[in-house]
Amino acid sequence: MHMIKLKNNNARFFVFLFMLPSLVIYLLFQILPLAGALYFSVMDWNGIAGSPVTFVGGKNFLEVFQNKDFLIALKNMGTMVIFSVLFHTPIALLTAVVINTKCKGYRMFKALFFVPTVFPLSAAGLMWYFVFMPTGAFNSLLSTVGLGGFVTPWLVNQSTAMNTIVFVNIWAGIGYYMVIILAGLTTIPEEVHEAAAIDGAGIVKKFFWLTVPMLKSTLTMCIVMDIIGSVKVFDLVFAMTGGGPNGLTNLPTTLLYNETFKYKHMGLGSAIGVVILAICLAGTLISNAVVKHKSD
């Protein structure tokens, strides 16, 4: 498309003026801090103003990977990512397909499934905290229906704590992916469905051999967004357990926060921040590569 060329100073000035605010804000409040994060990750500082900031090179990163809490956090992150992806996309896909049939009341269901995604994660976390706390609704429910043997402090029990949080994350995210897939579904023209019906394809067959392949790029997109999104989870853990007990449910993000604010290990905290950045970067780059590769 034909773009305007900068022929005169008037145009040049205009371009400059209009780009300026964005650039200034962006540079000052995102790029500069980003550089700062990289800077601090190779420095040692105890968080008190006026205290020395000394260069320590890769020491922070070595510490990070030897830190027991970080390793637990990394493992938790892995759990979060794997299970979120495992459950989000298939369930979202199924739900989207069902809603797409525009059955009676579909609008209501769609709204119900989507609404959790607009909640602040802190509120969602708190909501579920009251359900899962030792004297909470879930344990009450279990006792009432005679499953009292399953009653346990869900958020504190080593075997259930992280999984419970992952469950809440899944709950909070399904609507999001459902809506994206729905948008993708609407791009599949009706004729394709009708043609398949004429050919005598059953619903399940139609689903796997027709719908899914046509949604490939959307689904891939969802999975990649899910991976990056799961890495970034913070509010949820912060609200439900604060990372505890004793670091059991930490994610790199909450660990970063704790190290920085509670323990004043600024260098270590920054290093974790850079690791999170690296994971996100890797995720984005891989996603770009995969999508480019898949576009036929």
Give, in order, the Cα–Cα distances in Å from 163 to each of 129, 142, 222.
13, 18, 21
Give the interface segment with another protein, choosing from 72-80, 93-101, 188-196, 206-214 (CB under 8 A). 93-101
Residue 15 interacting with another protein (CB under 8 A): yes
Question: In angstroms, what is the minimal distance from the CB of 191 to another protein?
Answer: 19
Give the interface segment with another protein, choosing from 70-78, 80-88, 172-180, 206-214 (CB under 8 A). 172-180
- Residue from 64, 166, 179, 227 in contact with another protein (CB under 8 A): 179
Give the interface segment with another protein, choosing from 70-78, 178-186, 188-196, 205-213 (CB under 8 A). 178-186
Q: What sign does the CA torsion over 25, 27, 28, 33 have? A: positive
CB closer to another protein, 79 vs 157: 157
How many whole angstroms separate alpha carbon 8 and alpha carbon 277? 42
CB closer to another protein, 81 vs 155: 155
State whether residue 248 is helix, strand or coil: coil
Residue 291 interacting with another protein (CB under 8 A): yes
- Tell me how many residues contact another protein (CB under 8 A): 120
How many whole angstroms separate alpha carbon 296 and alpha carbon 293? 8
CB closer to another protein, 79 vs 264: 264
Whole-angstrom Cα Rg for the chain: 24
Q: Cβ distance 96 to 181 under 8 Å?
A: yes
Residue 55 — φ and ψ, nearest 5°? -75, 130
Q: Count of CB atoms within 10 A of residue 167's CB? A: 17
- Residue from 61, 70, 87, 238 in contact with another protein (CB under 8 A): 238
Residue 126 interacting with another protein (CB under 8 A): yes
Residues 242-281 that bind another protein (CB under 8 A): 242, 244-248, 252-253, 256-258, 260-266, 269-270, 273-274, 276-277, 280-281
CB closer to another protein, 166 vs 222: 222
Q: Cβ distance 268 to 61 under 8 Å?
A: no
Question: In angstroms, what is the minimal distance from the CB of 179 to another protein?
Answer: 5
Locus of tokens 């260069």: 55
Q: Is the peptide bond before 52 cis (omega within 30 degrees of 0)?
A: no
Give the interface segment with another protein, choosing from 73-81, 87-95, 188-196, 205-213 (CB under 8 A). 87-95
Between β-strands 54-55 and 43-44, what pairing exists: parallel, antiparallel or unpaired?
A: antiparallel
- Residue from 9, 50, 190, 198 in contact with another protein (CB under 8 A): 50
Please report which helix (H) or strand (E) contains residue 54, including its range. Answer: strand 54-55
Residues 16-35 that bind another protein (CB under 8 A): 18-19, 21-23, 25-26, 28-35
CB closer to another protein, 79 vs 117: 117
Residues 94-123 that bind another protein (CB under 8 A): 94-95, 98, 101, 103, 109, 111-116, 118-123
Show Cβ contacts of residue 201 under 8 Å, excluding neighbours closer than 6 positions. Answer: 209, 210
Residue 145 interacting with another protein (CB under 8 A): no
66 alpha-carbon distance from chain centroid: 26
